[in-house]
């Protein structure tokens, strides 16, 4: 799979942090899921989507957002980091809505889920297994150190669940990868854990320079799971925090989340984007 080519012209044009509906939640903090969604647009107008949220409203909201950038949205690749509802439900709900499916073209899906976690993930893994057939599209199941090359953009996977067999939480299934090129890269960590990020630093000890990115998504909605070693290797000065309004309040005020790798990285960043504060474009270098 290394060097796999998706036939598409993909020079990064836009990078968008989407606010899922659940990120609007502003009630009492109870580890309410915060959702996550990221969208890259190519110069030819096509998109790469990562996750997308957990509510039935999210597919329509995403499609309406895509239509702000393209009259006929085409998604060359939809990646799901792991099978938790606040990350995979948008794609699942889209697959169940015939009217919305007619408004979008999906060329390929990408995820890697173990059968052993099916029951622990409310059978969403079984549902996701059927989605390539539902959408009539390709399916990619990446392995660690695989690269999906899309014209001059590459998606490099640094971790998939099969790298470590001591997982106790389905958040640890999160694929970790970067998206970008020599001019601009975004590191995606999903809901991963500190020990996994440290594992990546050990595995790629002779190639740590490959982790260098301009932007990093803080793991597990910015609340825990961070690694100082990993963040130092990534060296990003822009930080993404996919968090709900309730989570944002806790993150800022609760001492439990005020000290740790995520907090240190967030405080030290030049720019921080919270999805709870709204959908927004992330500044990228001009490719003109």
Q: Rounded to whole angstroms, how far apart are CA atoms 195 and 172?
A: 9
pLDDT (average), residues 52-66:
98
What dotted CATH number matches 4-281? 3.60.15.10
User: Domain boundaries in the chain?
Assistant: 4-281
Contact 143, 112 (CB under 8 A): yes
Q: What are phi and psi of 146, to 5 degrees?
A: -75, 155
Mean pLDDT of 146-166: 87
Model pLDDT for residues 174-191, shown as the tens digit of each residue:
999 999 988 899 999 999
Q: What is the mean pLDDT of the chain?
A: 90
With 0-12 / 13-18 / 19 or more C-beta atoms within 10 angstroms meaning exposed / middle / buried, residue 149 is middle
Residue 11: predicted pLDDT: 61
Mean pLDDT of 191-199: 96
Of 7-11, 198-202, 250-254, 258-262, give the lowest mean pLDDT range: 7-11
Say what the pLDDT of residue 10 is. Answer: 47
Amino acid 287: pLDDT: 52
Q: Is 222 helix (H, G, I), strand (E, B) or coil?
A: helix
The token pair at 140 is: 């990619």
Identify which has the larger pLDDT, 166 or 197: 197
What is the structure's pLDDT at 283?
A: 86
């Amino acid at each position: 799979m290394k060097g796999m080519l998706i036939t598409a012209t993909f020079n990064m044009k836009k990078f968008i942090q989407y606010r899922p509906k659940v990120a609007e939640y502003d009630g009492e903090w109870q580890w309410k899921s915060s959702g996550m969604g990221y969208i890259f647009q190519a110069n030819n107008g096509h998109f790469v989507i990562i996750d997308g949220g957990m509510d039935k409203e999210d597919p329509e909201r995403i499609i309406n957002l895509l239509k702000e950038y393209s009259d006929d949205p085409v998604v060359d690749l939809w990646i799901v980091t792991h099978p938790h509802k606040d990350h995979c439900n948008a794609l699942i709900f889209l697959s169940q809505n015939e009217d919305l499916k007619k408004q979008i073209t999906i060329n390929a899906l990408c995820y890697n889920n173990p059968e052993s976690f099916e029951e622990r993930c409310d059978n969403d893994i079984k549902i996701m297994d059927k989605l390539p057939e539902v959408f009539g599209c390709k399916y990619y199941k990446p392995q660690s150190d695989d690269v999906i090359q899309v014209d001059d953009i590459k998606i490099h996977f640094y971790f998939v669940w099969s790298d470590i067999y001591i997982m106790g939480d389905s958040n640890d299934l999160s694929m970790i990868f970067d998206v970008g090129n020599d001019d601009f890269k975004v590191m995606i960590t999903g809901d991963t854990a500190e020990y996994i990020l440290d594992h990546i630093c050990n595995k790629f000890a002779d190639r740590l320079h490959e982790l260098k990115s301009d932007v990093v998504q803080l793991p597990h909605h910015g609340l825990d799971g961070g690694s100082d070693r990993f963040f130092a290797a990534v060296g990003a000065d822009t930080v993404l925090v996919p968090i709900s309004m309730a989570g944002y309040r806790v993150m800022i005020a609760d001492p439990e989340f005020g000290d740790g790798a995520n907090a240190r990285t967030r405080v030290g960043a030049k720019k921080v984007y919270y999805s709870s504060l709204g959908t927004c474009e992330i500044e990228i270098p001009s490719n003109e």
